[in-house]
Amino acid sequence: MSIPTAFTDKEQITDLLTAEKHLASSYNAFLLESATPEVVHCLSALLRDTHDMQQQIFHTMQGRNWYQTPKAEDTKIAAAKQKFSAAVKR
C-alpha cells in the first residue's frame, strides 16, 4: 500500500471549500450568541469575508468542472415557490 506524498489540486481546493463552509457555520453560531455590538460587528465581518472566500473557491471549482450544480427544473422551482408561499400565508 502506497501513501500519497501530496494532495492533488482538486483535493486541496475541496478541502479549502469544506473548511470555509465549516468556518461560516461556526461564525454564524457564534454571532447568534454574541452579547456586545463590538463582537457582533467583528463576527459579521469575519462571516462576510468567509462567504466571499467560499464563493471564490466555489467559482474556481466550477470553472475547472470539479463542482457541478445541475440546473433545477422549472416545474420543481414552481412547486417550491408554491409550497413556501403557502407556508408564509399561514
DSSP label of 39: H
Q: How many domains does the chain have?
A: 1
pLDDT exceeds 80 at position 28: yes
**C-alpha separations of 52 from 13, 45, 46, 61, 70 in Å:** 15, 11, 10, 14, 22
In a domain, 4, yes or no: no
Residues 58-80 have a mean pLDDT of: 93
pLDDT exceeds 70 at position 32: yes
Residues 23-47 have a mean pLDDT of: 96
Q: Is the Cβ–Cβ distance between 42 and 30 less than 8 Å?
A: no
- Domain span including residue 85: 9-89
To the question of pTM greater than 0.85 for the whole model, the response is: no
